[in-house]
């Protein structure tokens, strides 16, 4: 699937810790029905076999709704299930290495919390930058929050789209919607809500300003 910045508008990053007893796949599907524009399957504490099997099932859901699937960290898992791309952190294999292995049509996102890192990831061949974390988050509890001003600097410092990540929910998203970002990556702000469908729809209805001037 060819990348475009509209995919970043409501970017769901899965979080098993917020299910509250609900079925994972049902929650993901409800988010897709509500308007999630891209899904990142994020797993840190399961075996490669379990990750692969889970990714296969999520891939079927994203195909059903014609929504791209991104795998966190593991480009091998992404390739094995026919996912659309991978999201790489600063401690992962470099973007340019993954680009050589996976090809030009493979979507590669990269995390950055400074302008210099964002520019480097852009030069290496990333399709988009995940900038953050913006707010305190349970998925990145060792990360110092990024200021709104630095987020704007990152948006202005690169030519590729920027998605804000980290602790974003419906109550704080208004703080950053005018920074020039193409969208937001949301985890517990959707999966932790009682009505996942309605919350996804509320995020989809937000208008992000493309210019910071």
Residue 112, classified by CB atoms within 10 Å of its CB into exposed (0-12), middle (13-18) or buried (19+), is buried
Q: Tell me what pLDDT residue 2 has.
A: 93
Q: Tell me what pLDDT residue 180 has.
A: 97
Report how far apart the first and last C-alpha atoms of the chain are (Å, whole number). Answer: 31
pTM: 0.94
The token pair that represents 71 in the structure block:
């795998």
| CB 163 within 8 Å of CB 196 | no
pLDDT tens-digit map of 5-60: 999 999 999 999 889 899 999 999 999 999 999 999 999 899 999 999 999 999 99
Give the largest CA-CA distance in the chain: 47
State the Cα–Cα distance between residues 54 and 46, nearest whole angstrom: 10
Share of the chain above pLDDT 70, in %: 95
| CB 1 within 8 Å of CB 30 | no
Calculate mean pLDDT across residues 125-138. 90
Q: Are strands 38-41 and 183-186 parallel, antiparallel or unpaired?
A: unpaired
pLDDT tens-digit map of 177-205: 999 999 999 999 999 999 999 999 999 99
Q: Tell me what pLDDT residue 79 has.
A: 98
Calculate mean pLDDT across residues 97-105. 97
Calculate mean pLDDT across residues 132-158. 84
The token pair that represents 168 in the structure block:
């974003």
């Amino acid at each position: 699937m060819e990348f475009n910045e509209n995919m970043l508008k409501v970017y769901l990053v899965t979080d098993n810790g917020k299910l509250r007893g609900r079925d994972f796949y049902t929650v993901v599907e409800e988010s897709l029905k509500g308007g999630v524009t891209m899904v990142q399957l994020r797993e840190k504490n399961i075996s490669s076999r379990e990750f692969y099997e889970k990714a296969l099932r999520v891939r079927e859901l994203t195909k059903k709704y014609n929504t791209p699937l991104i795998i966190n960290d593991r480009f091998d898992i992404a390739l094995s299930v026919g996912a659309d791309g991978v999201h790489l952190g600063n401690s992962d294999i470099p973007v340019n290495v993954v680009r050589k292995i996976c090809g030009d049509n493979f979507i590669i996102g990269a995390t950055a919390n400074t302008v210099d890192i964002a520019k480097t990831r852009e030069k290496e061949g990333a399709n988009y930058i995940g900038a953050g974390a913006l707010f305190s988050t349970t998925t990145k509890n060792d990360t110092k929050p990024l200021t709104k001003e630095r987020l704007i600097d990152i948006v202005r410092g690169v030519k590729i789209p920027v998605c804000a990540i980290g602790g974003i929910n419906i109550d704080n998203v208004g703080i950053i919607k005018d920074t020039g970002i193409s969208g937001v990556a949301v985890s517990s702000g959707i999966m932790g809500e009682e009505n996942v469908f309605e919350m996804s729809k509320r995020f989809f209805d937000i208008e992000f300003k493309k210019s910071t001037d």
